[in-house]
């Protein structure tokens, strides 16, 4: 970071071959001249998390002036691919790796991450300080805790208050059940022309996550039995089909330009997702719609978690720095000041209960027209239970999506579609 102003200066005067060479030489020599901190902790992270860690560096340096922190940022997918590769070969392992919650489940099977229950980490003593489900989510089948939660994404419903009012609807019309949500969507479309949701897949994703028994996964139970051909999935597919048949979804790829544009133009009236969606909306998706949105609990008393971030320590990273790595994780996840800083600057909802009880949680949110929505999310967070992640969850998700496309686009029978997915998954379940 500190080298960028130098670089800018150099670029302003027309660089000759010689100055470029000299600059390169200086850059190569500089670290050894400056080399002050005796040790460096490497943190691998993806966007926003990298910023949160960088923001914590001053506080860390006060504690450990001799230990520098090097944050290696990669884009979301690249980061997780790089972490998979690093863990598989044991080369270039960071001291601390940030992981998105679905990858925690995925990586927890392999034994490549340190068990944080063991000394010197002993995360068990802090268990009560974290949101229960976030902690449980990091426990693998062998009972080891492979990562520490830092932020969570309680599921929430965002809706356009102005559009709802124009259709003579209120929040309570959306909430009683998924059917009521779709009914309201039909009125909404008639009165305003706006779609209920950008993509009906989002609706399906939330529905299949609700009503899980403790320890059950979305697609598999703890004995790797396939749970796809069940009422939970049938209902999700039926509701999705109802939405599509009534042309209530925009058929837009989530995160695509068209999807974002529809929000900006007021063509999409609600969105379901993690609480972090508000930050995304306010920052880049549809900042011009500030004040028009409100947040509410999901329909039908659905409590689901939608993403979240963890820090883990690779098993094979440098043992001399593991204690330090843990100290950094403790600071990031257990220090209310750090957790609140992340909430304030990056909208990342704290996994630390103490931070959730801070008065800042009750602050009104401008994007939501002054609503105190974090209180809603805090309540949701306390209802959510952990879902077991199966090795084949990623495949299952794609297979289900492909069959949902078949049902929505080609009119494939729902029973047949789910039976087909189940067959695909059974072949893989025990692999």
Partner 1 sequence: MRLPSFLRLSPKWAPYVFISPFVLLFVVFSLFPLCFSLYLAFQSWEPTGGLRAMEYVGLSNFTFAIRDGWFWMSLRNTLWLAIASGVPQHLVAIPLAAFIHTSFRRLRDGVMAVYFLPYITSTVAIAIMFKSLFSQDYGMINAALGELFGLPHTDWLTNAQHIKPAIAFIVFWRYVGFNMVLYLAAMQTIPGELYEAATLDGASRWRQFLHITLPGIKPMIFFGVTLSVIGGLQLFEEPFILTGGKGGPQQAAMTSAVYLFREAFDFNDFGGASAMSWLLFVVVALLTWLTNIAFRSRKGQA
User: Is position 89 an interface residue for partner 1 (rule: CB under 8 A)?
Assistant: yes
- CB-facing half-sphere around the CA of 389: CA atoms within 13 A: 24
190 vs 431, beta carbon nearer partner 1: 431
| Residue 309: φ, ψ to 5° | -125, 145
Q: CA 57, CA 21: separation in Å to the nearest integer? A: 32
CA–CA gap between residue 186 and residue 174 (Å, rounded) = 11
Sole window of 103-111, 186-194, 217-225, 293-301 interacting with partner 1 (rule: CB under 8 A): 103-111
Which residue, 151 or 403, has its beta carbon nearer to partner 1?
403
* Identified binder of partner 1 from the candidate list 277, 352, 399, 414, rule CB under 8 A: 399
Partners of 26 in beta bridges: none
Write phi, then psi, for 158 (nearest 5 degrees): -105, 140
Phi, psi of 139 (to 5 degrees): -90, 125
Q: Tell me how far the alpha carbon of residue 300 is from its chain's centroid.
A: 23
Q: Do 350 and 333 touch, CB atoms closer than 8 A? A: no
Question: How many chain residues touch partner 1 (CB under 8 A)?
Answer: 39
Which value, to the nearest 10 degrees, does the dihedral of the CA atoms of residues 264, 267, 271, 277 take?
A: -10
Report in angstroms how near the CB of residue 252 gets to partner 1 at its nearest. Answer: 8
Q: Does 419 help bind partner 1 (rule: CB under 8 A)?
A: no
Q: How far apart are CA 204 and CA 218, in angstroms?
A: 12
Q: CA–CA separation, 200 vs 99, rounded Å?
A: 27
Q: How far apart are CA 332 and CA 231, in angstroms?
A: 41
Question: What does DSSP say about strands 39-45 and 67-73: parallel, antiparallel, or unpaired?
Answer: parallel
Contact between 81 and partner 1 by CB under 8 A: the answer reads yes
Q: Determine if 416 is a binding residue for partner 1 (CB under 8 A).
A: no
Q: Which of helix, strand or coil describes residue 219?
A: coil
Which parts of 23-142 are beta strand (E)?
39-45, 67-73, 96-100
Per CB under 8 A, does 392 bind partner 1? yes
Residue window 247-286: x/- pattern of binding to partner 1, with contact defined by CB under 8 A: ----x-x---xx----------------------------
Residue of 88, 172, 283, 288 interacting with partner 1 (CB under 8 A): 88
SS3 72: strand
What is the distance between the alpha carbons of residues 180 and 299, in angstroms, rounded to a whole number? 8
Q: Kindly state the smallest distance separating residue 219's Cβ from partner 1, in Å.
A: 13
Closest CA to 111 of 320, 310, 391: 391
Q: Rule CB under 8 A: is residue 106 a binding residue for partner 1?
A: yes
Among 10, 37, 111, 176, binds partner 1 (CB under 8 A): 111
Distance CA 69, CA 71 (A): 6
Taking CB under 8 A as the rule, does residue 418 contact partner 1? no
Q: Is 94 in the site for partner 1 (CB under 8 A)?
A: no
- Site stretch for partner 1 (CB under 8 A), options 26-34, 57-65, 354-362, 389-397: 389-397
Q: How near is the Cβ of 308 to partner 1 at its closest, in Å?
A: 19
**Residue from 46, 60, 107, 133 that binds partner 1 (CB under 8 A)?**
107
* Nearer residue to partner 1 within complex by CB, 166 or 315: 315
User: What residues numbered 14-53 form the site for partner 1, per CB under 8 A?
Assistant: none
In this chain, which of 41, 73, 87, 381 binds partner 1, going by CB under 8 A? 87
State the binding string over 297-336 for partner 1 (x if CB under 8 A, else -): ------------------xx--------------------
Nearer to partner 1, 112 or 153 (CB): 112
- Interface residues with partner 1 (CB under 8 A) are 77, 81, 83-85, 87-90, 106-107, 109-113, 251, 253, 257-258, 315-316, 391-392, 394-395, 398-399, 402, 405-406, 409-410, 420, 423-424, 427-428, 431
């Amino acid at each position: 970071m500190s080298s960028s102003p130098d670089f800018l200066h150099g670029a302003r005067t027309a660089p000759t071959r010689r100055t470029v060479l000299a600059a390169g030489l200086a850059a190569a020599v500089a670290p050894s001249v400056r080399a002050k901190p005796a040790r460096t902790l490497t943190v691998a992270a993806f966007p926003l998390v990298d910023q949160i860690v960088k923001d914590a560096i001053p506080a860390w340096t006060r504690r450990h002036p001799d230990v520098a922190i090097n944050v290696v940022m990669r884009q979301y997918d690249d980061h997780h691919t790089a972490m998979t590769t690093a863990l598989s070969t044991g080369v270039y392992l960071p001291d601390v790796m940030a992981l998105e919650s679905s990858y925690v489940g995925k990586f927890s099977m392999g034994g490549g991450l340190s068990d944080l229950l063991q000394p010197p980490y002993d995360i068990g003593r802090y268990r009560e300080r974290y949101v229960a489900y976030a902690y449980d989510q990091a426990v693998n089948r062998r009972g080891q805790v492979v990562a520490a939660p830092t932020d969570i994404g309680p599921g929430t419903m965002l809706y356009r208050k102005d559009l709802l009012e124009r259709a003579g609807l209120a929040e309570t019309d959306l909430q009683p059940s998924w059917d009521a949500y779709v009914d309201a969507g039909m009125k909404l479309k008639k009165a305003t022309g706006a779609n209920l949701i950008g993509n009906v897949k989002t609706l399906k994703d939330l529905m299949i996550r609700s009503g899980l028994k403790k320890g059950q996964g979305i697609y598999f139970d703890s004995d790797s039995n396939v749970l796809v051909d069940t009422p939970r999935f049938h209902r999700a597919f039926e509701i999705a089909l109802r939405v599509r048949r009534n042309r209530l979804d925009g058929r837009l790829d989530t995160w695509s330009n068209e999807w974002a544009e529809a929000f900006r133009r007021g063509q999409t009236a609600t969105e379901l997702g993690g609480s972090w969606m508000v930050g995304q909306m306010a920052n880049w998706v549809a900042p011009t719609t500030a004040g028009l949105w409100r947040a509410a609990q999901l329909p039908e008393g659905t409590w689901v978690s939608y993403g979240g971030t963890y820090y883990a320590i690779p098993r094979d990273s440098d043992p001399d720095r593991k204690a330090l790595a843990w100290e950094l994780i403790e600071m990031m996840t257990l220090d209310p000041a750090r957790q609140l800083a992340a909430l304030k600057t990056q909208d990342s909802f704290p996994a630390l209960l103490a931070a959730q009880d801070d008065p800042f949680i009750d602050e009104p949110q401008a994007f939501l027209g002054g609503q105190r929505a974090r209180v809603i999310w805090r309540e949701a967070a306390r209802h959510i239970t952990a879902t077991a992640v199966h090795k084949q969850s990623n495949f299952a998700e794609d297979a289900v999506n492909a069959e949902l496309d078949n049902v929505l686009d080609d009119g494939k029978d729902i029973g047949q579609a789910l039976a087909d997915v189940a067959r695909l998954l059974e072949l893989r379940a025990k692999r």
